[in-house]
Structure 1
Amino acid sequence: MNKNSILGMACLASSLILTGIASTHAQSKAADLKSWPKGSSPKEIGARIAGRFVTTPHSNFNRPGPPKVITYPESCTWYGALTFAKETRDAKLLGQLKDRFEPLFGVEAKMIPVPDHVDYSVFGAVPLELYMQTKDKKYLDLGISIADKQWGPPEGPRVKPESHEFYNKGYTWQTRLWIDDMFMITALQAQAYRATGDQKYIDRAAKEMVFYLDELQKPNGLFYHAPDVPYYWARGDGWMAVGMAELLRSVPKNNPNYQRIMKGYKDMMASLLKYQTEEGMWRQLIDKPESWPETSATGMFTFAFITGVKNGWLDKEVYGKAARKAWLKLITYINENNDITEVCEGTNKKDDLQYYLDRKRNIGDLHGQAPLLWCATALLR
């Protein structure tokens, strides 16, 4: 082989190596969850959404007039704002979120929801987060009382005959096998575990999650809105995605239910990956191309992807790229008032495709604001 041939082969090899390096760099950049264009970072976006929340009166599902009690979308947004304050070490924001809570110990005491239903009980996650950040025992006492009541003997007007059956089998009497529950129940119990270190709380949540997975998850990893409504309504599935990701952050790996939950989570994530739109969103009905891109579900699925990548459960390149694309597209739906647009209104079940396609698209609905804060927090963890 002559000198020129050797030199040519060396140049080709160098070129291939450089091309490979450039390709790897491009892939890594596409999956980067740390560096962001100006104005799109989780710290900037989270500050805008949290700032909006602390100046917003108690939410009533976009209905006129104030609510009688704290609603679950407000509880979820409050929790998200608190976790964001923690990750950013924002003492001022934490103070504002505490100030919002103080009237509940006095003049607004009646606004603390009676914890006889999953949508009311999730409120307990808020005082438990306040306790973990402030160490003020009054928050712990309130939050734990709600967490314990959820697994206590069935009582109150919402008790159904099957409530006793679930309770006797070690599940919460608030079990109803709605997919929303797997954030509402597990978030509260996981928070109780984080606040106290008492394993009974995380064991409860893990057992409950496996029950729901075994009963409701479809072979493709997704969930119908209800057993008698064969549609993959995105926000309903979003509660499952967030619930599993949030729970897996705290379930010990030696927990007997850990592997089952992880399988359910990974099966769902793999399916969601297939349905993400080219722009990065998910649709109101996940598998229906005629349905519209919806922001609350997109935020929830993005949180689940981010959390999986950050904890090493999901492939960094594949899911990191999907999460980055989703975040950058999702935040374009935030308007000048720091309200997210294209949020599906609260939806009762109905076996009618057009019913879901025609759902109202809300602006600033806390169902959509909360996932933005969860995502911002997850990106900063």
Structure 2
Amino acid sequence: MNPLYISQKLFEHYEHIEEVKHYYGLLAIYALLLTAEEKQDPVLLGKCKTVLSRFPDHIQHPRYNFPSYRIGGIPKAYSLMKDYLPEAEEQVRYYAEEMLTASRDRKGIMSYPYAPEKELIWIDVAMAVTPYLLFAGLALGDEKYIDEAAKQTFLMYEEFLDQENGLLHQSKNWAGPGKYSEDHWGRGNGWGYLPLAELVQHLPQHSRHRTKAEKYFKDLSASLLPYQSERGLWRQEIPFEYAYEETSGSGLILYGMGVGMRTGLLDREKYFPAFKKGIEALNQICINADFSTERSCPGCLCPGDGEEKGTVKAYVTLMLPHRDEHHSFAPLMFALVEAYRNGIYDLPRDSH
């Protein structure tokens, strides 16, 4: 089965079971845009525009950490950049400006807006901020947005990097003042890897941020590669061999590796066998015959209580995966688009 068809069917299943919104839904809309582009499918592209046209006025919005979600966030900025939605210019600029004034810690890392004095920071923010500002900057020709996009991901990568294994922790100050979470969470590393992948494929070649973006991207790629499981996935706690294999982190990691090979930053001979094995594992283990999904971790921000808050034990034992978890769809779709872009045009489907 064509990976792009599977990607489209995943989105259709997702929109059937819940309203597609919040950051995980917006990422799925972005992935659907990429799917439509690769399919060269004007009908599917039209659907993406229709879905985005519902933001902000025809969506019941929850409380967001980032107000840009109200207008459609990343896919809205991407659609402006690609001239799919030129009418979105005012919206995208307004929320890019808002993002530049968001709460920050003393190092300049965007922090939890509802308790700024605690300087609560977490790697997920790199995903929320960098692609939006990067696409907004490219669409609007405004370098300050691009500068801030790169700055946020670089600062978070540096802050959360475990020098011993090259992987990322998720958070700081959530488990207590000055304390980092003890994890190397799968999706958390994906949240750090995704914005680096966007930077290396979309930054102008002459950008002053390119050298650092490429270095951090290649370093994280090399650190992630050895931890692929025997079946082809990455685990909830990446270095812990008894942690469960997890869908969303695996999808994001495979997306990044696909981008890296396609842009020539990662050696195809070294990475493609792992990439192909991972794509096949997603297809066989994580996607059911009806395009429901399995093995994705639920929302997970420094889990646990008391002394166990932010420990590896809390990440592995409290945050258990379940079917159709709403973080699962976008990472799977991203990975499938990159599978197609890297020459994987058919994946076997069975009745599991």
TM-score by length of 2: 0.82
Pair 1:226 & 2:171 matched: yes
Contact 1:77-1:369 within 8 A present in 2 as well: yes
Deviation, 1:225, is 2.4
Contact 1:127-1:140 within 8 A present in 2 as well: no
Which whole-Å CA distance do the structure 2 matches of 1:193 and 1:231 have between them? 33
- Could you say if the C-alpha distance between residues 279 and 236 of structure 1 is closer, same or farther in structure 2, counting changes exceeding 3 Å? same
Deviation, 1:281, is 0.7
Aligned to 1:344: 297
Aligned to 2:34: 83
- Could you say if the C-alpha distance between residues 172 and 253 of structure 1 is closer, same or farther in structure 2, counting changes exceeding 3 Å? farther
Instruction: Please show how residues 178-189 of structure 1 align to structure 2 within 5 Å.
Output: 178-189=122-133
Which whole-Å CA distance do the structure 1 matches of 2:196 and 2:72 have between them? 18
Contact 1:340-1:363 within 8 A present in 2 as well: yes
Aligned to 2:321: 361
Q: Structure 2 stretches of 5 or more lacking a match? A: 114-118, 173-179, 303-308, 342-352
- Could you say if the C-alpha distance between residues 247 and 177 of structure 1 is closer, same or farther in structure 2, counting changes exceeding 3 Å? farther
Q: Counterpart of 2:151 in 1: which secondary structure? A: helix
Pair 1:52 & 2:5 matched: no
Aligned to 1:34: none
Which whole-Å CA distance do the structure 2 matches of 1:76 and 1:136 have between them? 17
Which whole-Å CA distance do the structure 1 matches of 2:110 and 2:320 have between them? 33
Aligned to 1:296: 248
- Could you say if the C-alpha distance between residues 231 and 198 of structure 1 is closer, same or farther in structure 2, counting changes exceeding 3 Å? same
| 1:130-151 deviation digits (Å, cap 9, x = unpaired) | 3345543332322222122101
Deviation, 1:296, is 0.5
Equivalent of 2:92 in 143, 149, 152 = 143
Deviation, 1:308, is 0.4
Deviation, 1:56, is 4.3
Q: Counterpart of 2:171 in 1: which secondary structure? A: coil
Deviation, 1:109, is 5.4
Q: Counterpart of 1:367 in 2: which secondary structure? A: coil
Q: Counterpart of 1:335 in 2: which secondary structure? A: coil
Which whole-Å CA distance do the structure 2 matches of 1:115 and 1:345 have between them? 17
Q: Structure 1 stretches of 5 or more lacking a match? A: 1-38, 60-69
Which whole-Å CA distance do the structure 1 matches of 2:66 and 2:4 have between them? 34
Equivalent of 2:196 in 229, 244, 257 = 244
TM-score by length of 1: 0.76
Deviation, 1:302, is 0.3
| Aligned AA (1:57) | E
Identity of aligned residues (%): 26
Which whole-Å CA distance do the structure 2 matches of 1:214 and 1:297 have between them? 20
Aligned to 1:255: 207
Instruction: Please show how residues 55-134 of structure 1 align to structure 2 within 5 Å.
Output: 55-59=16-20, 70-104=21-55, 106=57, 108=58, 111=61, 117=66, 120=69, 123-132=72-81
Which whole-Å CA distance do the structure 2 matches of 1:79 and 1:206 have between them? 20
Which whole-Å CA distance do the structure 2 matches of 1:103 and 1:114 have between them? 17
Aligned to 1:30: none
Which whole-Å CA distance do the structure 2 matches of 1:114 and 1:248 have between them? 31
| 1:232-282 deviation digits (Å, cap 9, x = unpaired) | 111111101112111211223433332222222212111111111122111
Equivalent of 1:208 in 134, 144, 152 = 152
Which whole-Å CA distance do the structure 2 matches of 1:290 and 1:371 have between them? 23
Q: Counterpart of 1:365 in 2: which secondary structure? A: coil
Q: Counterpart of 2:208 in 1: which secondary structure? A: coil
Aligned to 1:378: 338
Contact 2:247-2:328 within 8 A present in 1 as well: yes
Aligned length in residues: 319
Contact 2:49-2:84 within 8 A present in 1 as well: no
- Could you say if the C-alpha distance between residues 363 and 263 of structure 1 is closer, same or farther in structure 2, counting changes exceeding 3 Å? same
Which whole-Å CA distance do the structure 1 matches of 2:110 and 2:315 have between them? 30
Query: CA RMSD of the aligned region, Å?
Result: 2.6
